[in-house]
Chain A
């Protein structure tokens, strides 16, 4: 069966420090991969999605970037974190069009 792993679960980082959040999927090949940010009372905001290795689409211009170095690995990064980057980050995958998502357990990022 397919599983999705996301780590770390929580992270406290100082302003200006770099960020790397990792997400991996097992049990499937060529998944669509997504990074969302969940802010209290504001739902889920799509940050990046990828339909294949090296193919990244950004939905919202911001201080973050994403990479997909392997088929089942999706990384969210920042060179210098801002206070406004604090939030709950969710990775998700889907098999293709018209499918729902399977979400990871999320990373609670606090920038101090």
Chain B
């Protein structure tokens, strides 16, 4: 079965610092990739997704992620974080031939941005 690894469990940054959260997956075939965000007290929300085409995808709130197939990675980046980016971030993978559209999630990364 596929697995998703987020190696950074907790990240603390100051405002305006750059962010990169790592995500690696184990599935060898075609995949669809997602990043979700959960702000304190709120629902999980889709941040961005990759299906095909340009491996650099842009999402909401200035986030972007790069799919590197050779590294089985889909790292999330933001050039300059804000205090409002404090949240938990989840990477998720969906094998492209998955009839039930099941997502496998990583363990999450808690980001704290200090004002």
Contacts and interface: CB of A to CB of B under 8 A. Distances in A.
Interface stretch (B11-19, B72-80, B98-106): B98-106
Given A90-B44, A100-B49, A103-B44, A44 B90 contact: yes
Contacts of A98: 32, 51, 94, 96, 101
A32 B32 contact: no
Contacts of B43: 103-106
B9 A41 contact: yes
A44 B100 contact: no
B107 interface: yes
B46 interface: yes
A44 to B, nearest CB: 4
Contacts, number: 60
B98 A97 contact: yes
A53 interface: no
B105 A99 contact: no
Nearest to A97: B101
A78 interface: no
A43 B105 contact: yes
Interface in A48-81: 49, 51, 57, 59
Contacts of A36: 105
A100 B90 CA distance: 13
B3 to A, nearest CB: 10
A42 B5 CA distance: 11
A96 interface: yes
Instruction: Kindly name the residue among A49, A100, A101, A106 whose own CB sees the greatest number of chain B CB atoms within 10 A.
Output: A100
Interface of A: 32, 34, 36, 41-46, 49, 51, 57, 59, 90, 92, 94, 96-106
Interface of B: 4, 6, 9, 32, 34, 36, 43-46, 49, 51, 90, 92, 94, 96, 98-108
14 contacts: A41-B9, A41-B108, A43-B108, A44-B108, A46-B103, A49-B102, A90-B44, A94-B101, A97-B94, A98-B101, A99-B101, A100-B49, A101-B36, A103-B45
